[in-house]
Chain A
């Protein structure tokens, strides 16, 4: 019988949608936003605030206020006596004094004494909320026990703190991966017109004791390369079915996995006996497996149909007496 090539395109399998370029799925974006939100509950104000606070004593004049605000581009300054926060003077107060010409006014006579503050042990989310509720640019931070002014916090401080925490978390996670390489990084680090990695496995025919081992090894290797379980599940299902076919029907063959950016292909090659009728073999339920194999749980006739359904591309060629070439791939 003449050898035939059968090409199974992506239009028949659900893999088409999975073949699209990897855009960050919505659930991933939500996860990142949620993580930041979660952090704002976990981090404390004392971790974000500036500990160096510029303050003025109550007996200073508005002239001193003008100098500080001008030099440092602040919009307000806390007024402190013996370490205790007694009031706050804002740029608005300064403008009023400038207009009235009363720059000699003592700070203590003009300052707002009811100051909106935060405690250093409060979570960041409280600061975020307060920034939302009030129009202020900064809040003085007090120590809960001594009520002393120990810092000041701005919106910038919050953003900086969140970013640096996210970054250290990312690094911690990356270093924990240990001997996990990143396939993507490997390909990116070795620029060429085409970079690929090949893993070859030999499967012995009739060796039911070891059947399943090679696709399991392939799975382990792909996981080490940084692929996720979900990404390679369909491929490993197909590799397992292909491995079983080699064991059941042939005297042995090779499974060759080719890994490249965006796609993993597995070629399964054997030297016999060949498939007499490919169309029949692709029919779900059709099986030429000997009866003893059914007792082992195989021979349901679902192997090739499963591979077709699970993969994004599949090609099957066979010649009676010569052998079979099966090739399938998933986008990952």
Chain B
């Protein structure tokens, strides 16, 4: 799914640089960084309410390509700048986490299910 499609589904507004044509393969919703690190796969979009710089470091390490802030949250300047440096697309939606995940799932974006570094149990 392209980023611009995601933005349409979530009625989201872009923050900073545009990366409309990137292809996103999976979706992940979380407010806990350890969760993001382990359960997110490269090429995914992260839905979160957290706006700190750590979110960007975590996302970058996990290989996340885009972050959508839910509940209308907008990140501070430092976060936006770091995201630009790491080439992570940012956007914000007014929908809460539940609605956002629901909508994307409904439109066919699958979730990341396999944790990194752990064999399937």
Asked whether the complex places CB atoms of A and B closer than 8 A, the reply is: yes
Where the two chains meet, the residues of A that have a C-beta atom closer than 8 Å to any C-beta of B are 13-15, 208-209, 211-213, 215-216, 219, 229, 233-234, 236-237, 240-241, 244, 296-298, 300-303, 306, 309-311
Give which listed residue, B34, B56, B63, B78, contacts A306 with CB less than 8 A: B34
Collect the chain B residues with CB atoms within 8 Å of residue A216's CB. Answer: 57, 60-61
Interface size on B, residues (CB 8 A): 26
- Chain A residues with Cβ under 8 A from B60's Cβ? 216
Q: Is B37 an interface residue (CB 8 A)?
A: yes
Chain B residue numbers with a CB within 8 Å of A208 are 52, 54
Contact between chains at A302 and B54 (CB < 8 Å):
no
Return the CB mask of B36-57 against A: 1 if under 8 Å, else 0: 0110000000001010111111
In the complex with contacts A212-B53, A297-B50, A309-B118, A236-B34 CB distance below 8 A: no
- State the CA gap A219–B57 with chains docked (Å): 11
A sample of 20 cross-chain residue pairs with beta-carbon separation below 8 angstroms, ordered by A number, consists of A13-B117, A212-B54, A212-B57, A216-B57, A219-B61, A236-B61, A237-B38, A237-B61, A241-B34, A244-B33, A297-B31, A297-B52, A298-B32, A298-B34, A298-B54, A309-B38, A309-B118, A310-B116, A310-B118, A311-B117
- Residue-wise, chain B 50-85 has the 8 Å CB interface mask toward A (1 for contact) of 101111111011110000000000000010000000
B35 at the interface (CB under 8 A from A): yes
Across the A-B interface, give the 3 residue pairs with the lowest CB-CB distance, nearest first: A212-B57, A302-B34, A310-B117
CB of B119 within 8 Å of the partner chain: yes
Say if the beta carbon of B115 comes within 8 Å of chain A.
Answer: yes
Could you tell me the dominant secondary structure of chain B's interface residues?
A: helix
**In whole angstroms, what is the CA distance A146 to B61 when docked?**
60
- Cβ of B32: which chain A residues have Cβ within 8 Å of it? 297-298, 300, 302
- Interface residues, chain B, CB within 8 Å of chain A? 31-35, 37-38, 48, 50, 52-58, 60-63, 78, 115-119
Chain B residues with CB under 8 A of A212: 53-54, 56-58
Cβ–Cβ < 8 Å partners of A303 in chain B? 34
Chain A interface main SS type? helix
Cα of A212 to Cα of B36 in the assembled complex, Å: 14
Find out whether the CB atom of A234 lies under 8 angstroms from the CB atom of B63. no
List of A residues within 8 angstroms of B56 by Cβ: 212
Which residues of the partner chain B approach A14 to less than 8 Å between Cβ atoms? 117-119
B57 touching A233, Cβ below 8 Å: no
A296 and B38 contact, CB distance less than 8 A: no
Q: Which residues of A contact B116 (CB under 8 A)?
A: 233-234, 237, 310
**Contact A302/B117 with A297-B32, A297-B54, A297-B55 known, Cβ cut-off 8 Å:** no
| A309: chain B residues within 8 A (beta carbon) | 38, 115, 117-118
In whole Å, how far is A213's beta carbon from the nearest beta carbon of chain B?
7
Chain A residue, CB-CB nearest to B49: A297
User: B62: which A residues are within 8 A, CB to CB?
Assistant: 237
Looking across the interface, which residue of chain A has its beta carbon closest to that of B36?
A297
The closest CB in chain B to the CB of A13 belongs to B117
**How far is B62's CA from A256's CA once the two chains are assembled, in angstroms?**
22
List of A residues within 8 angstroms of B55 by Cβ: 297
Q: How far is the CA of A241 from the CA of B35 in the complex (A)?
A: 11
Nearest CB in chain B to that of A213: its residue: B57
CB-based nearest B residue for A219: B61
A-chain residues with CB within 8 Å of residue B78 when the two chains form the complex: 209
